[in-house]
Every structure is written in structure tokens, then in C-alpha cells.
Amino acid sequence: MSEKVRVRFAPSPTGPLHIGGLRTALFNYLFAKKNGGDFLLRIEDTDQNRYVEGAEEYIIEALNWCGIPFDEGPGKEGNFGPYRQSERKNLYKAYALQLIENGNAYYAFDSAESLDFHRKDHEEKGKTFIYNWHNRLKLSNSLSLSKEEVDAKLGAGEDYVIRFKSPQDEQLILNDIIRGEITIDTNILDDKVLFKSDGMPTYHLANIVDDHLMKITHVIRGEEWLPSLALHQLLYQAFGWDAPKFAHLPLIMKPVGKGKLSKRDGEKGGFPVFPLSWNESTGYREAGFFPEAVVNFLALLGWNPGTEQEIFSLDELVQIFSLERVNKSGARFDPEKNNWYNQQWLQRKTDDELAEIFIKDLQERQIKVDFAKVKRVVSQIKERAVFVSDFWNLSDYFFQRPTNYEEKAVKKQWKEDTPQIMEEVLEILSGITEFESSNIETLVKEWISKKELSFGKVMPPLRLIIVGDMKGPHLFDILELIGKEESIQRIKTAITTLSN
């Protein structure tokens, strides 16, 4: 039996989750669920300087809001915890020492000033300083110093780091599920720091050790980690461990121009780049997006189903997702299209669901209405909405009498004989006992033809005085919904207001 698929999302809690991070989480989730595997959340918080209060809670809330909860992680302990690296910090040193013992790592004592000096010196000569086989023997480390000197330094409590000893003159073949084979010349690799004397591992060491201990089978992460892949593969080799499979997801690009999508693009373009609000930045949730829409547009940022289909539920995505269909090239972020997805998902919601959200908005506006009416209004207007927050502008006249009338429309529709015609409409409406759309329509139309009037003389001005504008759905439906009394009142009010 093949081993169980286990993937992890491993953010550093340095701020709110960017939409790109959320996509990484989503692809991990989809891959895990498609393959009957586990989706883990691991918090990579070894860099205490960059730790931001509240970021971990934010990440968890964002995953839950999207409907992609993790199976194991902080607060959901499985057999591989703890899931915060800061709580695992005591286990990493032994691994760093193991690499020193087997000749794959070494102590280095160079001070920041000394490294700075070498960097500048190289720059002046038009070269780049790389701490590796080129010059490691000229620097202060356990490869260049004698065993006694090293022991003395360690004994005296001098600051040190443990560096990986990257190999010389090797062609390293890396495999990425999305990008295929990549060959790297190890001579360009630097001897990355794995561990610091403050007792903390760096990202590289902690990440590899934890992926191994947590039995991760596939590492799915953003393209920005591709340059670390060579080191990671070398680390697996150095430990003698089987490496997981790797898949690096394409970057998410700005809506226009070159480069990665940034927070600034969102500020400039007036669209969110975070799933939930964070300080003064509005999130997708608060901007009125449905999680289904966010999941849908994120899934198509870099992945394609191979068909024309654009709308996918999370369950459908789980069925058909595959890493092989993830593109290599950057995926352009399209805020307009994201709105379209929301509009599509809004149309798929039931009137009950939408009314439930909308009624809160109405209550905040101090408008008293019953649920049944809100539901019927919603069914009339939702077609034209992208967000539930559009509902009010599309439907205010259902809930309150117009206080003014659109000027151009008045000029065009309100003729000398209109008040007289409206008086007659008033009478017709007053006489209707069954105040229901099709019934009103039949009676009004009968009267129009009997009087040999044109529709243009009746319907547009009637809409103007009922709605305040020329917008809105079928006028007889509006009349039914606002009711007989209110319809009559609106006509009366308009006759007085507009005839003066």
C-alpha cells in the first residue's frame, strides 16, 4: 500500500495572510482531500523578530472562513505535534549537530563586521562574496581552524552559527511536479546558515526536519521558495532521508504591468488582497465576497480544469484538482473577474440565504420589514447585484417612499396631462380588491385600451412616481410588493409635488 498523502501549509506568522498564501493553502487542501490525505497547518515562528501578534489566529480564521480547515495543527493536535516551531525549538540542535558529525555542516564564527568587510571588498573588485567552497577555508570556521581552536571558542561561549557545507562541482538534478526537471550547478550555492547560537534553527533546517518528522509526502508552496529547493534536497541527502515531492506554484501577478501582486496594488485599485480585514485593510469577507467565490477565483489562479468551465464548488474542485494542471507561468490577478465570480455565486444562493444577510442591512437602516417581503424583494433584484451590499441601492424604493424624483426623467415624463391621467390610475388602483401583480396589470391595461391612451403616457410616469427613477423590475410586481395603500400614497404625493 502506498503511503498516506500528507501535506502542510507552513506560514510564518508575520502578518495577515496574503491572498497568495491563501491560494497555497487551498491547493494543499485540494490535493490532500483529492487523495484522501491529511492537511496540516504548521506555524513557522522561529524568527521571533518578525512575529506579529494575532497573525496565527488570523490565518486559522481565514482557512475556516474559506471552508478549508486543517486536520492537524495548533489546537488540533494529531500525532505529530506540537505544530508551532517555537514549541519544537529544543529538537533542532541535535539535527544540526548530526550534520556536523557526518561532515555536512560546520561551525562558523565570523562576526557580522568581518562578513561585511568581505562583502565590500569583493564588491570593490567587481565580485560577489559567497560563503562557500570558494573562500570558506579563508574564513573563521571549524573547517579552517584547528579542533583545539574551535573547542576553545565554543568553550568560551563565542557566538557561532552552523552552516551547511554545500558540495563543490556537482550537477544537482531537482524534480518539481509542475516544472519538471531542473539542473543546478552546486558551485553557485552558498553555505546557508542552519542554526544560530541563540538556540534557534533557521527556516531551512526547521522546515526540513519538521517535514520529515511530520511525514510530509508533498511540499506545495509558492514559487518564491524554488531557489531554496537545491539546499532542501541536499539537506535530505545529508540526513539520509527520503525527500518529499515538490510542487512550486506560479506567482500571482499584478492586474496590469509586471511583477508580483502587492498590497499597494490593492490600495491603488481599490480591491482587497487579504481574505479578512487586517487593521485598515479591508478583506474579501468584509468587502462582501462569499467564501465560495474566493475559493473559486483562487483555484483558477494558476490551475486550469482543461475545459471551459469556470464555476466550481469546493467539492467539485476536490474531485478534479491535480498538480499536473497547475501552470508554470505567473497567474494574473483580475479584480473585475473576481467580482464576476461573486455575482455568479450570489445568483446561486437561495432567496432565503440572501434575505437573511440583507435583513441585517435593513435593520441597521432602522427599516422595519418582515422576512417574507425581504425575500420577495431579493428575488426581484438579485439578478442585477454583484454583492449583497448592492441590494439597498437596487431596492430602497420597496421600503421607503421616494423623497425626490430624478430630474431628467421628470422633464421627459411629466407632461401637462399626466396629473389627470395619474388621478385616474389612482382610482383604478383604489378599486382593486385583489392587489396582485397580474391582476393589477390586467385591469390597468384594460383601462388604457378602453381610454385609447398610449402605454408611454401611463407606464413611464407611473414608474417615476413609484420608484423615484426609471429603474427597477416589472412595475406591477413593485406595486404588489409595496401594497395598495402605499401605491396610492405615492401617486398622491407625486401629483402634489410634481404639479407645482
Stretch that binds ligand GLU, among 10-18, 184-192, 296-304, 417-425 (CB under 6 A): 10-18
> Residue 465 CA to chain centroid, in angstroms?
44
Cα dihedral 442, 447, 453, 458 sign: negative
Q: Which positions from 32 to 61 touch ligand GLU by CB under 6 A, shown as an x/- string?
A: ------------x-----------------
Give the integer Cα–Cα distance in Å for 428 and 437: 14
> Pick from 7, 10, 314, 394: which binds ligand GLU (CB under 6 A)?
10
Number of residues that bind ligand GLU (CB under 6 A): 8
Angle between the N-to-C axes of helices 455-467 and 484-499, in degrees from 0 to 180, rounded to the nearest 10: 100
Check binding of 104 to ligand GLU (CB under 6 A): no
The one-letter amino acid code at 312 reads F
Q: How many CA atoms lie within 13 A of 350 on its CB side?
A: 3
**CB 44 to ligand GLU: min, Å:** 4
Residue 90, SS3? helix
Site map 341..360 versus ligand GLU, x via CB under 6 A: --------------------
- Distance separating alpha carbons of residues 343 and 335, to the nearest angstrom: 13
What whole-number distance in Å separates Cα of residue 184 and Cα of residue 171?
A: 6
Instruction: Specify whether the CB–CB gap between 208 and 237 falls below 8 A.
Output: no
At 294, phi and psi to the nearest 5? Answer: -65, -45
Q: How far is the CB of 43 from ligand GLU (least distance, A)?
A: 9
In the complex, minimum distance from the CB of residue 348 to ligand GLU, in angstroms, rounded to a whole number: 33
Tell me: does residue 490 bind ligand GLU (CB under 6 A): no
Helix (H, G, I), strand (E, B) or coil at 176: strand
Question: Cβ closer to ligand GLU: 207 or 296?
Answer: 207
Q: In the annotation, is 451 catalytic?
A: no
Binding flag, residue 413, ligand GLU (CB under 6 A): no
Look-up: residue for cell 385583489? 434
Closest CA to 64 of 86, 41, 87: 41
Nearest distance, CB of residue 203 and ligand GLU, angstroms: 6
**196 appears as a binding residue in the annotation:** no
Say if CB 275 and CB 338 are below 8 A apart.
no
28: contact with ligand GLU by CB under 6 A = no
Contact status, residue 201 vs residue 193, Cβ threshold 8 Å: no
Binding mask 429-448 for ligand GLU (x = CB under 6 A): --------------------
Q: Binding ligand GLU by CB under 6 A: which of 65, 225, 387, 399?
A: 225
Determine the interface stretch with ligand GLU among 6-14, 62-70, 406-414, 427-435 (rule: CB under 6 A): 6-14
Rounded least distance, CB 228 to ligand GLU, Å = 7
Do 36 and 6 contact (CB within 8 A), yes or no?
no
Which residue's CB is nearer to ligand GLU, number 221 or number 285? 221
Give the binding range for ligand GLU (CB under 6 A) out of 4-12, 270-278, 421-429, 455-463. Answer: 4-12
What is the DSSP secondary structure assignment for residue 390, as one 8-state letter? G
Cβ proximity to ligand GLU: between 12 and 487 the closer is: 12
According to CB under 6 A, which residues from 179 to 208 bind ligand GLU?
203, 207
- Nearest-angstrom CA–CA distance, 335 and 249: 20
Minimum CB distance to ligand GLU smaller for 250 or for 473: 250
Which of 5, 6, 12, 195 contacts ligand GLU by CB under 6 A? Answer: 12
State the Cα–Cα distance between residues 233 and 243, nearest whole angstrom: 7
- Look-up: residue for cell 579542533? 147
Other beta carbons within 10 angstroms of residue 412's beta carbon come to 13
User: C-beta of 23: minimal distance to ligand GLU in Å?
Assistant: 12
Give me the catalytic one of 153, 215, 263, 457.
263
User: Which stretch in 7-15, 313-321, 325-333, 489-497 sits in contact with ligand GLU by CB under 6 A?
Assistant: 7-15
Per DSSP, what are the bridge partners of residue 162?
107, 195
Strands 218-222 and 245-249: parallel
Check residue 11 for interaction with ligand GLU (CB under 6 A): yes
Q: Which residue has the cell 562558523?
A: 108
Number of C-beta neighbours around residue 441 at 10 A:
16
Residue with Cβ nearer ligand GLU (108 or 184): 184
Residue 73 C-beta: closest distance to ligand GLU, Å: 14
* Sites for ligand GLU among residues 205-224 (CB under 6 A): 207, 221
Shortest Cβ 108–ligand GLU spacing (Å): 24
Nearest CA-CA partner of 471 in 417, 416, 390: 390
Q: Which is nearer to ligand GLU, 27 or 203 (CB)?
A: 203
Q: How far apart are CA 331 and CA 446, in angstroms?
A: 59
**Is residue 132 near ligand GLU by the rule CB under 6 A?**
no
Binding site for ligand GLU (CB under 6 A): 10-12, 44, 203, 207, 221, 225
- Sequence ranges of the binding site for ATP: 263
Q: Which residues are catalytic?
A: 263
- Sequence ranges of the binding site: 263
